[in-house]
Structure 1
Amino acid sequence: MRTGPSYRGGPADRQALRALAGDQWWQQQAAVGRMLTVSPGLRGGDPDDVVLAGLIAVRSFLTLDDAPLGWRWLERRLVAGSADAHPCLVGLASGLRRLPSYRGAVVRAAGTLPPRASAPLPGTELCPAGPVGAYVREGAPAPAGDRYLIWSMTGRRVRALTGSPARTGPEEVLFAPGTRFRVLGTRGGTGVTTVLLREVAAGEPAGRPGDQDAADRQAMEQLTQAVAGPATAEDPAPWPPRLAGPLAEGHPRGDGTV
């Protein structure tokens, strides 16, 4: 099952990605090359330039912050509507498809949601243009404010690309650019709102506010059990900014952009 719009890239996108990365390309390529030595199956039989471009885009997003191809850099370009964002999104979509998927509940910090965003009508869909990061709920710290609890189907495990040792700290999951999330409901706590979402498969009809289908109800049951389970941590902990912030409403357009 694939999610998000169909970002189709070609040699020109890979060349643009490399040009944007500058000198960082070689450092990222060395790290990705070491990972591929350990996990050659991620190549999938594709040419080296295709494999490296996608995985370098993902690793850059995860590790560079303000530098070109980093998450803050991409966020600013998306806000500005810059054409530089397109080859980055293409690379991210390509690289993420190679990584193992995670099925289950993940949590994302939302900060303090405004009233409308903290009480969205079930069936409303959120569709950020860029990737969406979250922690696997089991073992995650508690966000300090509002949060999203998401039922993931194809969110990608990215630990292998960040160099974090296995079983060290909470595990991060990254959803591809343009992934749709459907609101299932909300749960309130002491000054805290949890918005329950499910990942929506590509090709699924858009949700209608106020309605729920069988997949919604099944995901709702799973997330309700997760909410009722043990707390992720006794006290809120610092939360990586890359895995925080509100998610925008909307739907992907048919041309592969959002």
Structure 2
Amino acid sequence: MDVEAIERATLAAVAPRAVAEVDDWLVALEPGTIRRAKSAVPLRHDPAFSPEILDRIEAAFAEHGLEPAFRLADLPGLQPVRAELTRRGYGFEQPTLVKVSSAVAMLAAARGEPANVSDAPDAGWAEVFTGEGFDPADGANRVAALTRSPDAVYGGVREGDRTVGVGVAAFGYGWASVHGMRTDISRRGQGLAGRVLAGLAGAAQARGIDRVFLQVEEGNAPARSLYRRFGFKPAWRYFYWSRPA
């Protein structure tokens, strides 16, 4: 698995305001609410490690007035990092899966008309993120970040004058990555997310890109079921590490 390409593509998609590189690590420096955009992540799952590397990463966060945070795969090669973070008082939470599929497999699983896809989001697309059932501040932050993505397309399903299902595909490092999947609370369970995935897969295929990845919280059973149907298989699991407030 091309860990470095996936991690670089992830940060390109969520577009933190600054990214530092410390040895084999990317340090995302963003004050917003997207945790992927405000944590440090290794570019390998077996990096060379010394505590001094964590000192430098923590200093990068401090320079930007941010609390340090890490995103670590739950794999043996990162055990020395986890042990040192534990020693420094960090705890971990929010198990999340990185899952991979292909545009071909996604299109084969599609049902119904694919979502419309455009190069820029409109107001209706953004409104889904701040609608009923979503945190408005977090939604606004995600809209701002995803619309900063340097190479992305925006999928949306409209009914009349309303957009009721949305998602984003960002392209980079040989991958398409899916982000920002949201469905209007009144229309869940009606196949809209699948139509969005189909539209995004078609956009990837039109660019000659077949490899697709996404990230989903381990406890989100409905989303995991949907992604499984579209051919997504687990690549690795990670946790966020931070110090208690």
- Shared fold (TM-score, shorter chain, > 0.5): no
Structure with greater strand percent:
2
